[in-house]
């Protein structure tokens, strides 16, 4: 292998890198070599000459270097095959026959900037960085050899690529996409649009959380807000809901949700409606509607740090409205996939929403993304999904019943105003 350029890091970056974090920021380099083209492989050392690792460099990005290896190994097809094989092995304890899951989750699997989602015989791949984009061909060879797919699609249509100086695009890398890509998930069938759907076509990170509908959905009237292609709502119907209403602003998503309901024989229970969710929640509240279970699973409201304050306002508004739409002993399943909105920030928002709605809740579960989206202990950015299950207290506001209930359930956390 041709000797690589060596970049030197400042002392303050060494400690974080030694704990396993793969990112080196531009202000942590002794010199930012703007003459190197984006995506070029580099070696990284400390000022004392200590070896740190090997990764790829981009002078245009705030994250100037993302490490691929802590050893001086060739970053070639064999290296990529080992990494992908290790990632696949981590997913193997999943239920037998699982055919839709994330194979590679970027930094968490030691391949920063790479996402690989499997939908049966079709793979959807995202090359999010200039460094990974340069490795497209060897990665494709590994995927074809290991998975023998009928098609591999590049979903390079994310804003992250623009930050790396890359074009946003969607293209077929291998084979031919079948007329219909259909997956099985928790005993239900879903049509997946791998070329045009949100993310790569399905919200795989919620796969294990969908099963939490077993219980809250039984004989319930359910509202699935931001329903997308109907995964939450159809799981609710499967677990015994008597009625499911889904809201989403995308006509295409709503039509696909309706087809998914038909595919599973659940059209008599599920009704999916195209409507702005904020407006829909206000309309339902004005009409005096009530629901036993409500799911809020919106897209990321905070995609950059300057958007966090605005995102919190949006999260609070939809949660306040949902809390007011709940029946007295209802269940709210509320989610955020914005990694910039941390657990405590999300909890504080829920406390504020509950106070404005004059409701009290117990937190009966605080869940996160599934096993196929692993959270690396050393990389907090890999922990992004929050899925909180709240149980409304059935006592009226201002009574002492909620306090008695809390004493009887000491393991439950409480959110909202305390009614002495």
pLDDT at 92: 83
> What are 23's strand-pairing partners?
66
pLDDT of residue 106: 98
pTM over 0.75: yes
pLDDT tens for 230-281 read 999 999 999 999 999 999 999 999 999 999 999 999 999 999 999 999 999 9
Q: What is the pLDDT of residue 96?
A: 59
Least confident window among 88-102, 118-132, 365-379: 88-102
Catalytic residues: 337
Mean pLDDT on 122-127: 98
Q: Which domains, and CATH codes, for the chain?
A: 5-69 (2.30.130.10), 77-179 (3.30.750.80), 203-415 (3.40.50.150)
User: Please, what is the average pLDDT of the chain?
Assistant: 91
Q: What is the pLDDT at residue 405?
A: 33
Q: Which tokens hold the place of 162?
A: 């623009």
Length of the chain: 420
Taking CB atoms within 8 Å and a gap of at least 24, the contacts of 197-201 are: 197/229, 197/256, 198/228, 198/253, 198/299, 199/117, 199/155, 200/115, 200/117, 200/119, 200/124, 200/126, 200/153, 200/155, 201/117, 201/119, 201/124
Task: List pLDDT tens digits, range 43-84.
Answer: 999 999 999 999 999 999 999 999 999 999 999 999 999 999
Q: In the block, which residue shows the tokens 């949902």?
A: 322
158-173: per-residue pLDDT in tens?
989 999 999 999 999 9
| pLDDT tens digits for range 270-327 | 999 999 999 999 999 999 999 999 999 998 887 778 888 988 999 999 999 999 999 9
Query: Model confidence over 337-352: pLDDT tens digits?
Result: 988 899 999 999 999 9
Angle formed at CA 181 by CA 175 and CA 185, multiple of 5 degrees: 130
pLDDT digits (tens, 9 = 90+) for 380-394: 999 999 999 999 986
């Amino acid at each position: 292998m041709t000797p690589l350029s060596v970049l030197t890091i400042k002392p303050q970056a060494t400690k974080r890198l030694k704990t396993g974090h793969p990112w080196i920021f531009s202000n942590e380099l002794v010199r930012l070599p703007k003459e190197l083209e984006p995506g070029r492989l580099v070696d990284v050392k400390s000022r004392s000459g200590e070896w740190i690792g090997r990764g790829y460099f981009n002078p245009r990005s705030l994250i100037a270097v993302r490490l691929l290896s802590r050893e001086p190994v060739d970053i070639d097809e064999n290296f990529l095959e080992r990494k992908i094989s290790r990632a696949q092995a981590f997913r193997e304890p999943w239920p037998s026959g699982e055919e839709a899951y994330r194979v590679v989750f970027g930094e968490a699997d030691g391949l920063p900037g790479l996402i690989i989602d499997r939908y049966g015989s079709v793979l959807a791949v995202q090359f999010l960085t200039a460094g990974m984009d340069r490795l497209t061909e060897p990665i494709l060879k590994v995927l074809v050899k290991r998975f023998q797919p009928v098609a591999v699609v590049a979903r390079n249509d994310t804003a992250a690529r623009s930050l790396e100086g890359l074009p946003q695009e969607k293209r077929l890398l291998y084979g031919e996409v079948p007329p219909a890509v259909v997956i099985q998930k928790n005993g239900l069938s879903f049509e997946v649009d791998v070329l045009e759907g949100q993310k790569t076509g399905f919200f795989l990170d919620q796969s294990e959380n969908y099963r939490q509908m077993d219980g809250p959905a039984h004989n319930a009237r359910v509202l699935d807000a931001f329903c997308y292609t109907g995964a939450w709502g159809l799981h609710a119907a499967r677990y015994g809901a008597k009625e499911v209403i889904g809201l989403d602003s995308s006509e295409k998503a709503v039509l696909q949700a309706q087809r998914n309901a038909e595919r599973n024989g659940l059209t008599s229970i599920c009704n999916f409606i195209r409507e702005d969710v904020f407006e829909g929640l206000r309309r339902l509240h004005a009409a005096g509607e009530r629901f036993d279970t409500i799911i809020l699973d919106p897209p990321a409201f905070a995609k950059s740090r300057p958007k966090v304050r605005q995102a919190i306002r949006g999260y609070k508004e939809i949660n306040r409205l949902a809390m007011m739409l709940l029946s007295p002993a209802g269940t709210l399943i509320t989610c955020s996939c914005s990694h910039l909105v941390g657990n405590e920030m999300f909890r504080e928002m829920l406390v504020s929403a509950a106070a404005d709605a004059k409701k009290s809740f117990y937190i009966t579960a605080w869940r996160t993304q599934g096993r196929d989206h692993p959270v690396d202990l050393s990389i907090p950015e890999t922990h992004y999904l929050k899925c909180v299950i709240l149980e409304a207290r059935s006592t009226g506001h201002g009574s002492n019943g909620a306090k008695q209930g809390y004493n009887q359930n000491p393991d439950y956390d409480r959110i909202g105003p305390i009614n002495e």
